[in-house]
Structure 1
Amino acid sequence: MNRTARLYALVEELRAAAPRPVTVAAMAGRFGVSRRTVQRDLQMLMETGVPVRAAPGRGGGWSIDPRTTLPPIHFTAEEASALAAALAVTDARAPYAGAARTAAQKIAASLTGPAAAAARRLAARIVTLLPPADLSVRSAVEQALTTDTVLRLSYIDAAGRLSDREVEPAGLLTAGGHWYLIGWCRTRRAGRGFRLDRIAAAATTTEPARPHDLTDLLRGSAAADAIAPPALTTLGVPAGARTDGLTPPATHWTTLQ
């Protein structure tokens, strides 16, 4: 068994035993390798973000939180290559771009033989030319969405005016080549869309945000008649459903500032 296969097998071994810990000796015997090899493998899993942890003392060992990991997903070589290449060139300004990059590394590490070579060739033929990304703004937006907390923004609108806003985030929209944070603006007391590259500064808070439905905010726009509601789709669109997306120019939306 090569190392890549063993790493995945270790994760599945820990998932099967969770929440009980598994000793290094037991895993070494299970896979026919030394304890030192298992320790190195577990350290690599930790460094790549897999939620494994060690419990010292008698009755201790290594365990994993199954709630924060996915069961095995069986991709074809073509699907895995496409995912690895697409994630590897994710726009650095896009939300969750950092997570996309580490996901690409994990997928690439799982590929072997012709599939791995195909993924590398495909990624090498895709080039992006981007200005520097403001990682602090992106990180704050991601955290507010993940934790459902209020976000404080310094925002520059299309006319170049700077204003401070308090926003209850509802979700993200991509349209016209830009990313928007959609939410309820407490300052304007209305639903608004904020272009991420126009956010001059963003700060997270610990104040819980009220829940808002993303689709309702979009369909409630003053320009809703410019876009057919069925064209609104999310990443959670079911198989076989329409996937034509939301593609009109962002200027059609008066709430996208």
Structure 2
Amino acid sequence: MNRTERLYALVEELRAIAPRPRTVGWLATRFEVSGRTVQRDLQALMESGVPVRCEAGRRGGWFIDPGMTLPPVNLTSEEALAVAAALAGAESSTPFSSGARGAMRKLAAALSADAASSVRDLASRIHVLPGRTSAGVLRTVELAVLERRLLRIRYADAAGCESSRLVEPGGLLCAEGGWYLLAWCRLREAGRGFRLDRIRAAEPLDERCEPRPLSMLDQGLAGRVGSPVSLSSLAGERSPSPPLP
């Protein structure tokens, strides 16, 4: 068993008995390696974001929090490459892309040696230029969408004219090669699509927003999403594009 396979097996062993712990000595015997090797592997897993923890004491040891992990997922080689391509192609201006690097490491750790090698090779050949969306703005928008929190934004239209808006985040849309915040604009009293790279500043407010149906934000888009439509097809057609603020 190579190290990649052992890392995956360690996680599976701890998940199977969670929340009970396993000692380093027990794991070393189970995987026929030294205690120092097991300790180093567990430390590497923890540093990579896997929720493994160590508890001292007579009944202590290493354990994994079952509430913080997903159950095992068996991917075919083709499925693994599809996920890897999506993660590698997530540029810095893509919503929730901050977790892509960690997700890629965990994906590689969960695969066989040959599949993991293919994933790494594919990732090394995908190159993405950085986007123009501010990292601070992107993170604020991400959290506002997750928490349904009212946002105050400073937004520039296509001509560069800026305005201040109070918006109720409804979701995110990828269309025509760009990302939009779908929201209810209180200034216009209508649904609008705000290009993320035109949001100059974003400030979360304390007010929580009631969810609005997609039909209130964009009737045309709601009709298309109701049928089996892929994101790629949404991005490849012009109508209906997000309404200009």
Q: Displacement, 1:100?
A: 2.1
Closer, same or farther in 2 for the Cα pair 1:51/1:59, shift >3 Å? same
Closer, same or farther in 2 for the Cα pair 1:134/1:74, shift >3 Å? same
Q: Name the counterpart of 1:149.
A: 149
Q: Residues 53-98 of structure 1, C-alpha deviation per residue, up to 9 Å, x if partnerless?
A: 2233343333322233122222222332332233112222110112
Given candidates 233, 236, 246, the residue that maps to 2:234 is: 246
Q: Name the counterpart of 2:188.
A: 188
The RMSD of aligned alpha carbons is 2.8
Rounded Cα–Cα distance in structure 2 between residues aligned with 1:148 and 1:176: 25
Partner SS, residue 37 of structure 2: helix
Rounded Cα–Cα distance in structure 1 between residues aligned with 2:6 and 2:148: 37
Structure 1 unmatched runs, 5+: none
Rounded Cα–Cα distance in structure 1 between residues aligned with 2:60 and 2:222: 58
Partner SS, residue 234 of structure 2: coil
Q: Name the counterpart of 2:164.
A: 164
Q: Residues 84-139 of structure 1, C-alpha deviation per residue, up to 9 Å, x if partnerless?
A: 23311222211011212322233234445543443344334433334454211111
Partner letter of residue 51 of structure 1? P
Closer, same or farther in 2 for the Cα pair 1:6/1:125, shift >3 Å? closer
- Is 1:203 aligned with 2:192? no
Rounded Cα–Cα distance in structure 2 between residues aligned with 1:161 and 1:34: 65
Runs ≥4 residues deviating over 6 A: none
Q: Name the counterpart of 2:216.
A: 217
Q: Name the counterpart of 2:37.
A: 37
Closer, same or farther in 2 for the Cα pair 1:128/1:61, shift >3 Å? same
Rounded Cα–Cα distance in structure 1 between residues aligned with 2:101 and 2:169: 24
Rounded Cα–Cα distance in structure 2 between residues aligned with 1:23 and 1:30: 11
Q: Displacement, 1:218?
A: 4.0
Counterpart contact for 2:8–2:109, Cα < 8 Å: no
Counterpart contact for 2:181–2:194, Cα < 8 Å: yes
Q: Displacement, 1:175?
A: 0.8
TM (norm. structure 1) is 0.80
Rounded Cα–Cα distance in structure 2 between residues aligned with 1:194 and 1:131: 16
Alignment of 1:25-104 (within 5 A): 25-104=25-104
Q: Displacement, 1:178?
A: 0.8
Rounded Cα–Cα distance in structure 2 between residues aligned with 1:107 and 1:113: 12
Q: Residues 172-220 of structure 1, C-alpha deviation per residue, up to 9 Å, x if partnerless?
A: 101111101112233433322211000101233444332233x323443
Q: Residues 148-193 of structure 1, C-alpha deviation per residue, up to 9 Å, x if partnerless?
A: 3222322112232222223222211011111011122334333222
Q: Displacement, 1:228?
A: 8.0
Rounded Cα–Cα distance in structure 1 between residues aligned with 2:86 and 2:172: 19
Identity of aligned residues (%): 52
TM (norm. structure 2) is 0.83
Closer, same or farther in 2 for the Cα pair 1:66/1:78, shift >3 Å? same
Rounded Cα–Cα distance in structure 2 between residues aligned with 1:206 and 1:55: 38
Closer, same or farther in 2 for the Cα pair 1:188/1:89, shift >3 Å? same
